[in-house]
Amino acid sequence: MTDIEGRLRSAMHEAIDNEEAAPEELIVAVRKRHRRHLAVLTGAAAVALAIVVPTVIALTGKVAGSGAGSLTNAAASRTKPSNVLSGLPMPPGKNFEVLNTTGYGAGWYSVATHATKSIKGLPAVSSGYQFKRVNGGWVAWPISNNSPCSISVCAGPPAAYYFIAEGSLTAKRIGSGYASAGLGIGPGTRAGTVWLVTYPRITTSLYSSAFAQLVSTAGHPLGPRYRLPANYLIGFGAVGGYLLLDLDANNQTHFELWDPPTNRVLGHYNNVIAAGPEQIVWTNGCRHCQVQITNVSTGKTLTTSIPGTQPDNLNATMSDDGRLLAVQLPGGGLAVYNTITRSLTRIPGTALTKADFEYFGWQNGGHRLLVFAGPNAGPGADQLAYWQGGTRLYVETIRNPTDMEQLQTGSA
């Protein structure tokens, strides 16, 4: 789904995190008080481009599994919503870097130094940039409202897409493609690859077929152009060597797994909330439904213990290796489902009121979950937090609100 956000910096208790204080990048495109989330957005705020992802941040899809997971922190499920994240203070010493959109370009913001290093190669644009997580880094494209027709009717002018490797101070141009909501580009199955979507003309109807081509993040073609089925665009990108397509850009309830070389549809999925390298996370959204995770390589589907009755309120993102799924539960709060052990760990201190926003994503696609939260309006401070196994959340309050203007946390 998918923006936003904040900075996530931190160190972890040595019992949980024994790695050295290496800079870690995280990003999630969004505005401070009304952010759009492409990768990962969690429930209380209003904007989610749930197609992405994700990272993002995410940033999001649903997971199908074969067997219900156990809740490792049952007491946390009874925690009442709060207006702040709660947990242990972040230990000092480690430095996290966050991709910070400045309105004209982008840069890596250091939580330790409170300074931003500009990223070269992104043309200055007054509208700012949006971001989408792909293997090995992020894709950036300028926000644009200049279209000869409604975005729901025709393709409009293509967007220029750029690739920013994790921690890199240089953005490299990939090419131009369909511009809306990040639906013109999707991650490939291998690092350094993306699928780019184009239309023959800017006035071409969205209900006509678009073209998709696998290219390198340096913009070099890696295969032929394929004509997508009519009404479909890339949703979450490549899954298990296939493409997960979203019906007509306006319908996020129906997805198809499509094989480009054979032009065959291999499966249909409702309400996809997240996707991994081999997995599709989805739900039928019925009264007693639970989130499902389908492995497209094995054909097996597993049922999780995550309620899937309200798919519109399920924001989720999967780690790059497909092992961990972070999800915002319908009743509030975040949880992590382990696809290997089939256990569900509820993260205490993350159940916020509906008057607050909460965004989350896997840092650099790894196993450290970053959270950015705060009030949607009115007084109150923004907060950063991270989780990396166990049931503890590490939290820090943002002292200087101007530092957090527009960020992207990973994922999503």
Question: What percentage of the chain carries pLDDT values higher than 90?
Answer: 38
CA 109 – CA 96 distance, rounded (Å): 8
Task: Give the domain CATH number at 399.
Answer: 2.130.10
CA 171 – CA 105 distance, rounded (Å): 10
The reported pLDDT for the residue numbered 251 is: 56
38: left (phi over 0), alpha (psi -120 to 50) or beta: alpha
The reported pLDDT for the residue numbered 383 is: 86
Q: Is residue 9 part of a domain?
A: no
CA 342 – CA 326 distance, rounded (Å): 13
Domain that includes residue 33, residue range:
24-408
The reported pLDDT for the residue numbered 145 is: 64
The reported pLDDT for the residue numbered 94 is: 61
Q: Is residue 12 part of a domain?
A: no
Q: Is residue 376 part of a domain?
A: yes
Smallest CA-to-CA distance from 134 within 57, 232, 249 is with: 57
Q: Is residue 2 part of a domain?
A: no
Phi, psi dihedral angles at 385 (to 5 degrees)? -155, 160
Q: Is residue 15 part of a domain?
A: no
Q: Is residue 3 part of a domain?
A: no
The reported pLDDT for the residue numbered 217 is: 96
Q: Three-state secondary structure along 30-73?
A: CCCCCCEECCCCECCCCEECCCCCCCCCCCCECCCCCCCCEECC
Rounded to 5°, the CA angle 370-124-185 comes to 55
Q: Is residue 124 part of a domain?
A: yes
The reported pLDDT for the residue numbered 336 is: 97
Smallest CA-to-CA distance from 243 within 255, 230, 225 is with: 255
CA 46 – CA 129 distance, rounded (Å): 19
Residues of the chain falling short of pLDDT 50: 1-78, 404-412
| Domain count of the fold of the chain | 1
The reported pLDDT for the residue numbered 382 is: 83
Q: Is residue 31 part of a domain?
A: yes
Whether the CB-CB separation of 96 and 111 falls below 8 Å is answered with yes
